[in-house]
Each structure stands twice: as structure tokens, then as C-alpha cells.
A and B are shown apart, each in its own frame.
Chain A
């Protein structure tokens, strides 16, 4: 918002004029509907060009660029889509998707809950932070998948071990971002709130927590990505259902189009989860004034 003040004008009045009505925050210049449609159409074209070209390459590349032996391992797009539809029709895809979805949702949910609660405590109590930080650093820098054999040995190959490793991998982004969010609260805001006579608990609830929410949600989004990554890998190692199992099983039984159908599902699934989490993150950060621009 520009705050150009003309001589003898109240800054308030100037702001009112530059932003049109006092209730809308949007101060961008008005454009005609046609203009806007044309621009957004242009944007859609620009943004989908690369993906479109990639899909085209996938469709035509195997036919024209690969020799016959390799072509088997990289079937063109339409064959993959046919296989995908076949998996939908016989209900296999839904079954695997549901298995993966359940595991990642439970693991991710537990991680968010545990990560936020632990993070708040660790950030708030200095002694606890000093005690735990080195250990947390050690764990955080150990790739979650390196611990997969440990989880399998201790918890078996059932649901428990898969949910646990998903929870483990998602836990750290949430935890570390929660700590960062709480630690970076503007001290001036704390002073202002304290001058209003807030107790420590109220300070936490009304100042620290709301101020940390955007950072926490960044952690939640990162955890979402991590949970899918780790889950697929875990399902590849030992499972009887799930998208990871679908992929590895199709590979070993030489149903290559099915394998690609599984991979495609994983990427669309990941994309959807990320989109939802980005939206959520943006929603909770809108007071920062960075909502648009990406």
C-alpha cells in the first residue's frame, strides 16, 4: 500500500483513497474481466507446457527413441493409463491406495500431535531444550530409512512398524519447526503482552502460540512430504498392500504398465497432499501479508 501523503491530508484519508473501500485489503489496479481471463488462460498455458511436453515425450519417446528390448521397460503413456484404468476397474488400486492412505494419515497425525506438543515444551523450558537438543540433532540427522530394518525387527512387518516409521519421519520437521516458531516470537510483543498483565500461561496461549502457527505449519507441510516418501519405501520392503507394494510387486511379476500406473498414482497422491497442506499453510499465514506472490 502506498502512503503518499499530500499536504494537509490525514494519512488515514490518503490510505482510504488508495485502497478504494476501507474494507477490502486488495489495492491492485482494477482490470477488465476479459483482460483477466486472457491473463489467467495465458498462465495456465505457461504453467502446463513443460508437463505437457514431458507427457508427450513419454507417449512418443518409447516408440521412436528406444530399441525394442528397452521399450518393454518403458511403455508409452497410453498403455500405462490403460493399465491404471484396469487396476481401478478390478478395485486393486483403491485397495492399495486406501492401505497407504490409512498408514500415512495415522502416522502423520500422530507425528503432528507429538511434534507440536514436544516442540512447545522443549522451546518453552530452557533446561529441557539444553538437555534434548544434542539428542534430537543426532536423531534428525539419521535418515529415517536407515532405521527401517530396526523398525521391522522390533515391530514386525505389520501395520505397526509402517505407521511407526511414518510417524518417526514426520515427527522431526514438525518438532523442529515448532521449536523455531516458539523461539522466534518477537520479544517486543511479549513485552507488550506482559505490560497488559498476562500470566505466563496466557502469554503462551495468546501470543507465543498464534505467532508460531505459520512456522509450525511449514513443518507440517514438510512432514506431509516426508511421510509419503518414507511410507512408499517401507511398503516396498515388506508389505502385502499399499502403493509401494503395488509398484514393487508389479515389477517383480513383470507387469510393467501396472508398475508405472502405481508410480503415477504415488506422484498424483503426493501432489494432492502437498497442495492441501500448502493451502492450509497459506491460510494460517495470511496475517503475515505474504499470501500472494508464489
Chain B
């Protein structure tokens, strides 16, 4: 099987700006030699303690930053910048507040140069796919958090990217809405056949959604292990989360992650911002 997404020795270093307590500028390694293949149509989840470079990795996959060394390929072509072959869903929705739900979803299509008629039709279809039929003319401030995130997912799906990159998309939602959207996402993933790379810090979420779970180590982020999850057809069973198999996988990932979490805590959980400044995570 050819890989949809290939990562080869991806490493990212930041130059941390000098600050009061750290007068000398220093180089900080956020990601260290990550090599990973994601086959076409796979749902891969990525867990790691905070500060393990999850978001940095997503930025690299999205083409928003370049790795210091190593390379990323999509369909065999090296990623050199952002593109409509990948769609990013952010934790904070990032909807354009001056556009209606429909206008937001049509944004990427405008970028593709799709005609107005077709654009509106497809945006409507995708909004219906995420369960927002009848909300086309709402502005983001009129929607709840869960609905906003649905619009954001629809916006990324509309231009039919081969890969959907999701950066803790459900972290800001309440537990009930989150579980709902997890099921919706699985349904959408089955319907569209899109490859999904889903970043989360929730072990349960990672196991529930992923066909494989990639565990990152604490800083510098290395690929610690890859756990294949075989839970059959998730949508069929009732309460999957209390299934012994699920509990088994959850524990497996938890064990992998546990000492990393402790190490991350000792390291003091600092987050590096894109401009090279640090703040407590």
C-alpha cells in the first residue's frame, strides 16, 4: 500500500529568544526525527503530553512551518507550503465571524475558483453532511461551540482535501457535545473516505477514534510507539467505552504515555510560541 502521507526524519528546532531568566538565546528541539507513514483512508490519532510538539507537527503537515530537517510528502509530493490537498481544523474553530455558516464553508471553494452556483450547492451539501441543514445563514456568534466546530469541519471538507488535519478540535467542548461530535466525525470519515490525522491529549478520545494511535514522547517529541486499535465496527456497539477491549487499549496507551507525562511535568511544561517566545503551557 502506498502512503498518503509520509514523514521522514522530521525534526524541528526553535531558537528561543533571550528573556530575563534565560539571557542567552538557545536552540530548543521540539520534534526529533519523526518517521511515519499514514496509508490512504486511515484515521490516525496522535497523543502526547503537552510540550511534545503536537501542534508543531500539525503546522508542519499543514505547510504553515517548514521542518528544520527531514521531509513530509503527500501523495509522493513534498510539502513546501499550505495547500488545498490538506484541510486543517483548529481547536478554537477559527471561523470568519463576518461570514455566515455557508460563507465560511464556501471559503475554500472560492480559493479553488469554483463558480458561485456550484460553490453554494456544495457548501449546502457539506453543511447537511455535518448535520447543520437550516443553519446556512447563521453567523458564527449565533452558533454554539459544537455547531461552530461542525462548520469548521464542513469548511475543511468542502474542498475535498485528501487529508484532514485536526488539532484538538473537540478540546473546548463540553463532554456530551464532544462524544456526539466524535461519533459524527467517524460517520463523516466513513462517508468521505478522507485520511484523518487527529491530534489530542485525551487517551480515551485517541483510542475511540483512531485505527492507530501514535504516542509522542515528551520534549523533544519523538514517536514513542504506534498502537493499532482493532475494535471492529465502532458505530454498531452501544457503550464502546466500557467494552473490555476498549479498556485494554486505553490502558495500553495510558502505559505508553504515563512516564512521558511525568517527564513532561518535571520539565516544567513550557510552550514555545511560533515567534520563538516561551510561555507556561
Asked if B62 contacts A5 (CB within 8 A), the reply is no
By beta carbon, the residue of chain B nearest A198 is B111
Q: Which of A69-77, A129-137, A207-215, A244-252 contacts B (4 or more CB under 8 A)?
A: A207-215
Q: Is A10 close to B, CB under 8 A?
A: yes
Query: How many chain B residues touch the partner (CB < 8 A)?
Result: 41
Given A23-B134, A195-B64, are A3 and B98 neighbors across the interface (CB < 8 Å)? no
- Interface bin, chain A: 20 to 34
Q: Which of B81, B107, B110, B147 contacts A12 (CB 8 A)?
A: B147
Q: Is B82 close to A, CB under 8 A?
A: yes
Q: Is B241 close to A, CB under 8 A?
A: no
Q: Is A127 close to B, CB under 8 A?
A: no
Given A5-B176, A10-B131, A198-B111, are A288 and B94 neighbors across the interface (CB < 8 Å)? no
By beta carbon, the residue of chain A nearest B110 is A206
Asked if B141 contacts A197 (CB within 8 A), the reply is no
Complex interface: chain B residues within 8 A of A206 (CB): 107, 110
Q: Flag A9-40 by CB within 8 Å of B: 1 or 0 each.
A: 01110011000001101000000000000000
Complex interface: chain A residues within 8 A of B86 (CB): 195
- CB contacts under 8 Å to A, within B53-109, are 62-64, 81-84, 86-88, 90, 92, 94, 96-99, 107-108
Distance of A22 Cα from B100 Cα, bound (Å): 13
Interface residues of A (CB under 8 A from B): 1, 3, 5, 10-12, 15-16, 22-23, 25, 186, 188-189, 191-198, 202, 206-207, 210-211, 213, 286-289
Closest-CB distance, A166 to chain B (whole angstroms): 31
Closest-CB distance, B281 to chain A (whole angstroms): 17
**Top 6 closest pairs, chain A to chain B, by CB:** A22-B134, A289-B141, A192-B94, A3-B144, A287-B98, A195-B88
Complex interface: chain A residues within 8 A of B90 (CB): 188, 191-192
Distance of A16 Cα from B97 Cα, bound (Å): 20
- List 14 additional contacts besides A25-B142, A192-B94; criterion CB under 8 Å: A15-B144, A25-B139, A189-B94, A192-B90, A193-B96, A194-B82, A196-B111, A197-B84, A198-B111, A287-B99, A287-B140, A287-B141, A289-B139, A289-B142
Distance of A5 Cα from B145 Cα, bound (Å): 12
Distance of A11 Cα from B176 Cα, bound (Å): 9
Distance of A196 Cα from B152 Cα, bound (Å): 12
Given A11-B180, A287-B139, are A196 and B144 neighbors across the interface (CB < 8 Å)? no
Closest-CB distance, B214 to chain A (whole angstroms): 21
Complex interface: chain A residues within 8 A of B177 (CB): 5, 11
Asked if B84 contacts A196 (CB within 8 A), the reply is yes
- CB contacts under 8 Å to A, within B113-163, are 131-132, 134-135, 137-147, 150
Given A11-B147, A188-B90, are A196 and B107 neighbors across the interface (CB < 8 Å)? yes
By beta carbon, the residue of chain B nearest A18 is B144
Q: Which of A11, A191, A210 has the most CB of B within 10 A?
A: A11
Given A11-B147, A22-B134, A289-B142, are A188 and B94 neighbors across the interface (CB < 8 Å)? yes
Distance of A193 Cα from B150 Cα, bound (Å): 17
Distance of A196 Cα from B92 Cα, bound (Å): 16
Complex interface: chain B residues within 8 A of A186 (CB): 94
State the majority secondary structure of interface residues on B. loop
Q: Which of B63, B96, B99, B147 has the most CB of A within 10 A?
A: B96
By beta carbon, the residue of chain B nearest A6 is B176
Given A191-B94, A210-B98, are A11 and B84 neighbors across the interface (CB < 8 Å)? no
Q: Which of A11, A16, A193, A287 contacts B146 (CB 8 A)?
A: A11
Distance of A103 Cα from B145 Cα, bound (Å): 49
Asked if A195 contacts B82 (CB within 8 A), the reply is yes
Complex interface: chain A residues within 8 A of B174 (CB): 5
Complex interface: chain A residues within 8 A of B139 (CB): 25, 286-287, 289
Distance of A248 Cα from B143 Cα, bound (Å): 56
Complex interface: chain B residues within 8 A of A213 (CB): 98
Distance of A289 Cα from B145 Cα, bound (Å): 15
Closest-CB distance, B21 to chain A (whole angstroms): 26
Q: Which of B82, B99, B134, B145 contacts A196 (CB 8 A)?
A: B82
Distance of A22 Cα from B132 Cα, bound (Å): 10
Closest-CB distance, B185 to chain A (whole angstroms): 14
Asked if A192 contacts B88 (CB within 8 A), the reply is yes
Q: Flag B172-191 by CB within 8 Å of A: 1 or 0 each.
A: 00101100100000000000
Distance of A210 Cα from B94 Cα, bound (Å): 15
The 20 listed contacts between A and B (C-beta, < 8 Å) are: A10-B180, A11-B177, A12-B146, A12-B150, A23-B137, A25-B139, A188-B90, A193-B96, A194-B64, A195-B63, A195-B87, A195-B88, A206-B107, A207-B96, A210-B99, A211-B97, A287-B140, A287-B141, A288-B97, A289-B142
Q: Which of B132, B141, B144 contacts A288 (CB 8 A)?
A: B141
By beta carbon, the residue of chain B nearest A188 is B94
Asked if B108 contacts A196 (CB within 8 A), the reply is yes
